[in-house]
Every structure is written in C-alpha cells, then in structure tokens.
Amino acid sequence: MSRIVGIDLGTTNSLVAFMDQAGPHVIPGPDGQTKVPSIVGLTDNGLIVGDPAKAHLIRDPSRTIYSVKRFMGRGLDDVKDELQYFPYHLHEKNGVIRIEIGDKTYSPPQVSAMILKELKRRAEEYLKEDISKAVITVPAYFNDSQRQATKDAGLIAGLEVLRIINEPTAASLAYGLQNKTQGLIAIYDLGGGTFDISILKLKDGIFEVLATNGDTHLGGDDLDQRLVDVLVDDISQTQGVKVGEYPEWMQTVRLEAERVKVRLSDEIQTMAVIELPTGTYEKMWTRENMETLVMDLVERTLAPCRYALKDAGLTVSQIDEVILVGGSTRMPLVWRKVEELFGKKPHSELNPDEVVALGAAVQADILGGHTKDLLLLDVTPLSLGIETMGGVMSALIRRNTTIPTSAKEMFTTYVDGQTSVDIHILQGERELVKDNRSLARFQLKLPPLPAGVPRVEVNFLIDANGILHVTARDIRTGEAQSVQVKPSHGLTDDEVEVMIRDSFQFAAEDIKVRQVIEARNEANAIIVATEKALVRGTNLIHGKEAEGIRRILQQLGEVKEGDDHRLIRAKIAEVEKTTHHLAEVLMDATLKEALENKKLSDVIK
C-alpha cells in the first residue's frame, strides 16, 4: 500500500504531513518552512503557489488568488458581503463561483487543486516517492457542498482523497497520541477564515465527537479587515488618498494590518508603517486599540461554544481540557475569552499551525492499516432534511449524529399515473426551506400506477467523510433504482472530469515555470561567480579575453529574464566554455599561492 499523506488545506496556510514509526511529521519545503501560504498567482509564465505568490500579491493583485477556501462549495449569494475585499472578479455558473483571471476562469476547487499539487510535489520530493493518496482536513462546520468541493479539489490535483476529516478532530488525534489525554475535551480552532468548536470524549483510544459547532466565515481575515478599514480611513484623512481605489495599495495595507495584528500578540504596542506612493504612513497601535476593534468578533465565537456544549449535554465545568488550535488563537484576547467561558486555562503545547496536519497524518496511518489502536468517531455538523409541503424542511438526520449514518424515507404518488416525485435535499437548522442550505435536487422515477401504490424507498447515507450519498429502491420489485442527484452548489462529475484533464495542461505549464526558475537561479549564481573571478584574474588574462567574457555575461543577463529555459541553459554553457581558460589560470594561481605561503617543510612532508 502506497503512502498516504495528511493535508491541512487552510484558508491562509496549508501543510502536508506523514507518519512513520516515530510519529507524525510535517514536511518542510526547501527553505525549511512547513507552512505554504494558500495563495496562487497566475503569471505570464504560469502558476506560482505559496510564498512566491504572496510576493506576487502586491505586484499583481488582480491575478493573485488568496482565501479561496471561503468560496469552496458556495454560490455568489453566500459571499456577496465580502466580495468588496477581494481584488479579483467573480461570477457564478451552475451554482458554483468562478474566479476570473485575465481571460480564464477557475472554479474554487481548481484553485485549491493548485495548492494541493504544490503540497503533493513537496511530499514527493521529501519522501522520494510518488504520492497519490491523501487525507484532507476541512472545518468541522463545513456542509456537504463544501466537503464535496474539497474532494473534487483532490481529484483535480491527482490525489485520491481517502478521507475528509474535520480539523478540530484531527487536532485531537495529534494531542491524544501525544499525551494519552483522557476525558472530555473542547477543541477551539480559530484560523484565518473559519471557526470551529468540537467537544470530544477520549477513552481507551476512541475519540468520540459529542458535538460540534462553528462559523465557516469567521477568522483572522475578519480581524485584519477591521484594522484595514480603520487604516484606510486614517490614510485618507492624513494623506488625502483613497487607498480603496488602488488594489495594489489595498494589498499593501492588508498585509501590514495583519503584521500589526500578529505583532500585537507579543507586544503591547507597535508601529504600523505603510509605504505609499504618496509618502510613508506611520501610526502607533496598542494592543488595547486592537482588542477594542475586534472584541465583538472574538466574542462571536462564544455562542457556538455554548451550543456545542448544550448539544453534547454537558456544562462547562465538566470539560477537562480546552485545547487551542489555529493561528488566531495566539491572540491574548482569545485566550482570555476562552478562559472566561470555560473557567479553566486553555492550552496549546503543540504548534497550533501544525497540529491539524499532524492529526491528518495520524488518520492517514489509521486508514493505511498501520495505527490500529486509535479510532475517530465523528459527527455530521448540520441537520439533513428534505423539503416538504409549504416550504418547510423535514429533518431526516439531526446535527451531531455520529457518522456514518443513514435515514430511509418512503415516497409514493398522490395522483393516478404520476411518474415522478421531485426531491429537494437541504442542510441546516432552520424551519423553513429558504433559510437552509440547498444541497441538491433529484427526480425520483415511479411506475405509472394508481395513486399511493408505488412505493420507493430512498436511503440518505452520510458516510464517514460527512458526504451524502443517495440511493433508491422500489419496494414492490425490490430493485435498486438509480438517482441522478444534481448538486445545488457543486461541480458535476463531467465538469470535474474536464478540470482533471485541464490540470494536466497546467502541470505542463508548471514544469515549464519551474525549469525557467531553476535555470535563472543557476544563471544568477554563474554571473556572480564569474564577476568575482574576473576581478581576481584581472592581471592574469588578456584584456581582450576579459572583454569577451563580459560580453557573453551580459548576454546571459539578458537571456535569463526571458522565459525560455533552453536559451538560458545554452547561454550558461557558452559562459562556461568561454571562462574555461580563466578558470584554469585562476586555479594555477591559487595553487601557486598556496605553495608559496607554505614553508618548504610543509610541502615536503
């Protein structure tokens, strides 16, 4: 069985981890960094992902996509309030958001797939083997469409997604493995874009989720936005420029706002410094200012905690441990608020950035059949139901039901000869259909018989990924009946198919970009080394020869800015050939020097 990796596909940062005998490990990139910023940039030369894309964000914001997770499994209506904060254009097609970049459009799963591919490549390079299977984490409060979109992203990236696992539960696995925690624990996960709370019971290696709640649109991004709004106002007052009208400047302000927020977790006050074409803006910020600005947002996380406790049938005092996960829990304000609510000090021994990926690796190891003593019993976060008369939702599966779970419903006809029944599947806690999430629709086919005679049983099954499967059976004939479920906010199988094919094309482009980058790096190194050599060799070679080398070096300097790696390579070879003599001369000189500096006795010895 090939290795399965664990992936934390975050709003802000993504990580990949694996497990061996020693335990789970996060895989670092060449620079030693484990976090890959979840940012994708589309340059003229192809795709860039992670840190390079973050740099691209300021240069070319309209072609750099960040926080794409907010759009997964959603329609335009769901995100209309935050659209103003994104520098790129969006539209909707078949219920799915499309992101417009230049003359191309991308669905959120396609963009997520680009991040996944970068992680896959990282893992392959590090582990020196092909990776084709993964466990991917999602916020516990993700609905069916959002989970399905994540699974699609995996497919498009060429990964078989063996399991979609909830982020807080993944974190609990990493903790449970670490210190053999037992008892009732609360996992509070506040990241860049989402908030989750999960209540678990840990006993004898079983991780039983009792309840979960959250807000899939609340995180560090929202805290940043508060500061951005204030900064933009202040800049307009002091410098008389409307930053909002310039996407590039907006991104500069946004990044500085985040840095200020992060610094204020460690410091009491810090200076916001923003270089603008109109001058430098500077302003001192205190932690107190910041806390006042975001107090209500942080407090918004408390109600879901109370709901989760209530659903678990527990009171705060029964919770043995509170564990903090996610970058935003580094804020002292969050610690205070959580401590106030639970009446005990929360803790976070494991790196809150890495713990979710580590847990995903543990789950991967369980699925791979290696870890046998641990078992996660998770729940579905939202009630599932169908539309009934009068636009009311009738719940079939309640929220916080342990998965896998299924519910059967019998359907019949009301009119003689009726041959179909339309079924509308929903998710949510509200009474009325319009207040809940529309998941999918399908048409049940029935034999033309007198009213009430046909009997078709539909089975709604939520699997261990929290993803719905619908099957139907004609009770009279006992035969299974196929159902074509049309997702309300999801890609169809055909669309995913096409995107998988497209992604091969991207892969070719990716390789091209990588080759250019590598050749360019090499060219830079050679230019620096040759220039040094020229200085040292001034008196050793002919002026004409030096001039020839300089000329070809300049040509390399020009070629390397282009995007044809073969041209760059050819020039590099030419430089190497031309400098062959210089290298020899320098070598001899070095040797001579070395000998001259030594005493005779050293040489003879």
Which stretches of the chain bind ligand ADP, using CB under 6 A?
10-13, 191-193, 219-221, 258, 261-262, 265, 326-328, 330-331, 353
Residues in region 378-407 near another protein by CB under 8 A: 395-398, 401-407
Q: How far is the CB of 294 from ligand ADP (least distance, A)?
A: 10
Closer to ligand ADP at the Cβ: 220 or 359? 220
**Radius of gyration for the chain, computed over Cα atoms and rounded to the nearest angstrom:** 29
Q: What's the burial of 181, exposed, middle or buried (CB within 10 Å: 0-12/13-18/19+)?
A: middle
Rounded distance, CA 468 to CA 457, Å?
Answer: 16
CB under 5 to 8 A by kind: which of Mg ion, ligand ADP, another protein, none does 328 bind? ligand ADP
204: left (phi over 0), alpha (psi -120 to 50) or beta: left
Binding string, 131-170, against another protein, x = CB under 8 A?
Answer: -------------------------------xx-------
Give every strand in the sheet of 384-388, ordered side by side. Answer: 392-397, 384-388, 420-427, 437-445, 486-487
Query: Are the C-beta atoms of residues 565 and 516 closer than 8 Å to each other?
Result: yes
Closer to another protein at the Cβ: 66 or 460? 460
Please tell me whether residue 191 binds Mg ion under the rule CB under 5 A: yes
Closer to ligand ADP at the Cβ: 67 or 148? 67
Handedness of CA 588, 590, 593, 598 (dihedral sign): negative
Beta pairing, strands 468-474 & 160-166: unpaired
User: If DSSP codes are grouped into helix, strand and coil, which group holds residue 551?
Assistant: helix
Q: What's the burial of 373, exposed, middle or buried (CB within 10 Å: 0-12/13-18/19+)?
A: exposed
State yes or no: is 167 an active-site residue. yes
CB under 5 to 8 A by kind: which of Mg ion, ligand ADP, another protein, none does 262 bind? ligand ADP
Rounded distance, CA 328 to CA 334, Å?
Answer: 8
The one segment of 6-14, 56-64, 154-162, 360-368 that binds Mg ion by CB under 5 A: 6-14
In the set 189, 221, 256, 387, the catalytic residue is: 189
The single residue among 82, 463, 509, 574 that binds another protein, judged by CB under 8 A, is 463
Q: What's the burial of 411, exposed, middle or buried (CB within 10 Å: 0-12/13-18/19+)?
A: middle
CB under 5 to 8 A by kind: which of Mg ion, ligand ADP, another protein, none does 172 bind? none
- Three-state SS for 446-480 is CCCCCCCCCCEEEEEEECCCCCEEEEEEECCCCCE
The one segment of 120-128, 334-342, 461-469, 507-515 that binds another protein by CB under 8 A: 461-469
Phi, psi dihedral angles at 69 (to 5 degrees):
-60, -30
Q: What is the dihedral of CA 593, 594, 600, 605, to 10 degrees?
A: -160
Q: How far is the CB of 19 from another protein (least distance, A)?
A: 14
Q: How far is the CB of 373 from another protein (least distance, A)?
A: 9
Please tell me whether residue 37 binds Mg ion under the rule CB under 5 A: no
Phi, psi dihedral angles at 19 (to 5 degrees):
-125, 140
* Tokens of residue 594, six digits: 């070395």
Residues in region 405-424 near another protein by CB under 8 A: 405-410
Rounded distance, CA 444 to CA 451, Å?
Answer: 15
The single residue among 368, 512, 514, 517 that binds another protein, judged by CB under 8 A, is 368
Residues in region 483-522 near another protein by CB under 8 A: none
Q: How far is the CB of 174 from Mg ion (least distance, A)?
A: 13
Closer to ligand ADP at the Cβ: 111 or 393? 111
CB under 5 to 8 A by kind: which of Mg ion, another protein, ligand ADP, none does 586 bind? none
Q: How far is the CB of 352 from ligand ADP (least distance, A)?
A: 7
CB under 5 to 8 A by kind: which of ligand ADP, Mg ion, another protein, none does 206 bind? another protein
Residues in region 185-214 near another protein by CB under 8 A: 203-204, 206
Query: Are the C-beta atoms of residues 144 and 439 closer than 8 Å to each other?
Result: yes
Handedness of CA 245, 76, 46, 154 (dihedral sign): positive
Q: How far is the CB of 526 from another protein (least distance, A)?
A: 49
Consecutive H or E run containing 14: strand 13-20
In the set 60, 167, 354, 365, the catalytic residue is: 167
Residues in region 556-575 near another protein by CB under 8 A: none
Please tell me whether residue 603 binds another protein under the rule CB under 8 A: no
CB under 5 to 8 A by kind: which of ligand ADP, Mg ion, another protein, none does 220 bind? ligand ADP
- State the number of binding residues for another protein (CB under 8 A): 33
Closer to another protein at the Cβ: 162 or 230? 162
Closer to another protein at the Cβ: 404 or 548? 404
Cis bond before residue 247 (omega within 30° of 0): no
Give whole-number Cα distances, 217 to 85, 297, 312, in Å: 14, 11, 23
State yes or no: is 558 an active-site residue. no
* Tokens of residue 109, six digits: 């799963």
The single residue among 10, 168, 352, 537 that binds Mg ion, judged by CB under 5 A, is 10
In the set 35, 54, 69, 571, the catalytic residue is: 69
DSSP class of residue 217 equals T
CB under 5 to 8 A by kind: which of Mg ion, ligand ADP, another protein, none does 404 bind? another protein
DSSP class of residue 268 equals S
Binding string, 14-33, against Mg ion, x = CB under 5 A?
Answer: --------------------
Spell out a b/e string for 461-477, using b for 16 or more CB atoms within 10 Å of the CB, else e.
Answer: bbebbbbbebebbbeee
CB under 5 to 8 A by kind: which of another protein, Mg ion, ligand ADP, none does 139 bind? none
State yes or no: is 189 an active-site residue. yes
State yes or no: is 152 an active-site residue. no
* Tokens of residue 144, six digits: 């069916």
Residues in region 244-283 near another protein by CB under 8 A: none
Which residues carry out catalysis?
8, 69, 167, 189
Q: Which residues bind another protein (CB under 8 A)?
A: 1, 162-163, 203-204, 206, 363, 366-369, 372, 375-377, 395-398, 401-410, 457, 461, 463-464
Q: Which residues bind Mg ion (CB under 5 A)?
A: 10, 191
